Amino acid sequence: MAPLLSFSRAIDRLNEQVGRWVSWLVLAAVLISAVNASARKAFSLTSNAFLEVQWYLFAAVFLLASGYTLLRQEHVKIDVVLGRFSRRTQVKVEIFGFVFFLLPFVLAVVVLVWPLVAKAFVTGEMSSNAGGLIRWPVYALVPAGFLLLGLQTLSELVKRVAFLQGLGPDPADKGKARTPEEELAEVIRLRAEAEAAAAARGGAR
């Protein structure tokens, strides 16, 4: 599991950085909206480009931060039934959902959308609105966002398998972020406990 956990941590760092940078796009969208509204009210000046860049930025935040949102365990969950089971059972159900629903969905979206992105890039597709923006960059946000989501799904799978094997903490724990040293200490502690439990079962026989 050690190489897989290293792979998982690399993905987590990637989406952590993406999430932090994307959060600044919210401020950019607010400032553009404020400037556009002020110019329209004060000078009767406006542009479809300003309007479209706002929803371009919204699309970037929504799509590019999807992996970060999964990393932070902030996607909407309905635990009316699942919440009654043990944590290990919940993790097994989550693994099933990742493998048979989320990953196939991510793959399907990327495969289906990519030809549209390529076509828009080759043709230089523009907005149908006067003064509008070129379209392929916002189209490209879809496969990019789903790629980040797919990578984070793989990371979450690794962390849940490690948890079931006693080699990692509960991935749903939203406590303060651990340092690499704390993560290593947690892995060592869990492994020692698992070995002690196995030794005890062997002695009981």
If asked whether residues 94 and 189 sit together in one domain, one would say: no
Residues contacting 193, CB < 8 A, separation 6+: 166
In tens, the pLDDT along 42-60 reads 888 778 888 899 989 999 9
Residues 189, 88 within the same domain: no
State whether 202 and 109 are in the same domain.
Answer: no
3-state secondary structure at position 53: helix
Indicate whether 110 and 188 sit together in one domain.
Answer: no
| 92-124 pLDDT tens trace | 999 999 999 999 999 999 999 999 999 999 999
Residues 75 and 95 in one domain: yes
- Could you identify the residue written with the tokens 């379209």? 135
Domain that holds residue 197: 178-205
pTM as predicted? 0.79
> How many CB atoms within 10 Å of residue 151?
20
Q: Is residue 165 predicted with pLDDT exceeding 80?
A: yes
Number of structural domains, the chain? 2
Residues 108 and 15 in one domain: yes
